Structure 1
Amino acid sequence: MVSEELYDHQNLIKKVIDLLTADIEAGCELFTSTILSGNKILLAGNGGSAADSQHIAAELSGRFVKDRKALPAVALTTDTSAITAIANDHGYEYVFSRQLEALALPGDLFVGISTSGNSPGILKAFESAKEFGCKTLGLSGRDGGKMNGLCDLNIIVPSNVTARIQEMHILIGHIFCKAVDDLF
């Protein structure tokens, strides 16, 4: 069982290298240009994707590999008071878009993470991010879902297995963080 899981992961990495290298490089450009222009990166997801958004934000505001200045990155998944108030008063699908309305500025980058590409709150957040002049980057899987029509760039992990998609999302997130580290 262990070997089977590891080989499954290895095979997906090979597909990602073959199919997504150019898209990941474009995502690195979105991250680095956002930071270089003095803007911030805002991230969101649900469940495991929420954890990934927090992980990536922490690597940027804290440190990834090298010591450098703290960088402006915010996971919209961490403020339970805002999330529960917005969900209660407006509906769960608005928990990220309302926070974007409060925090996003033109030129910021919104990163929405959804293994299916169809999470209603993430879709609503992409619509809002565009309205507020943000660049948009999706991390999805399967066929990319409805995120395909809402992102400047949607990096679609070629798998239908949620665990494999999430593993690739955090690997890709680390590559983005490495590109940002290389600026300093």
Structure 2
Amino acid sequence: MKLYLLLFFNVLLFINVSCSPRVQVNTEPAAADFHLSNYQTFAFFDVDASGEALSSGYQQQVEYMKSEIAQQLQRRGLTPATDQPDLLINLGIVVNEEVQTRETNIVTDPPQYIGQRRYTWRSREVEVGRYREGTVSVHLVDNAQNELVWRGTAEGVLPRKSSEIQEQIAEGVEKLFSKVPQ
């Protein structure tokens, strides 16, 4: 009976993990009367990047993200502008290297021998993997009033392959802009 119960919970956990979204999205309007239909043109603030971000290819991913955002805004009727846009887009991008750990336990990890028939066991954190976690914040700013009108964030674990990162960017931007009030 215990075996069936354990198997059931493992299957349930697998289904839950496999169906969970790759990208988590949070949004909130900063202005109560904000609607995207009130704007006709848009442009991006300059993105400043330094250090490792430039050398490890993130600049290419930023350009891809800008392109995806531009497509989403153009689908909603806005056009890109170089001079005096109605809406400015500010991007904030953070990528962190995370370490996945587990705690040792007496059942699966044997005690360590320290000499003279002495064994000791201490609980400790053991590294089992590393991954990159990315967060993108998008701020929409009314250019005429210089006021934040909407903000949203998308976060998720970044895949290792560049092509998969671009798929995740497209998915995240689409999810994020589906929450923008028309």
How high is the TM-score relative to the length of structure 2? 0.37
How high is the TM-score relative to the length of structure 1? 0.37
Where is the strand percentage greater, Structure 1 or Structure 2?
2
Where is the helix percentage greater, Structure 1 or Structure 2?
1
Which structure carries more relative contact order (alpha carbon 8 Å, separation 6+)? 2
Which is higher, the Rg of structure 1 or of structure 2? 2
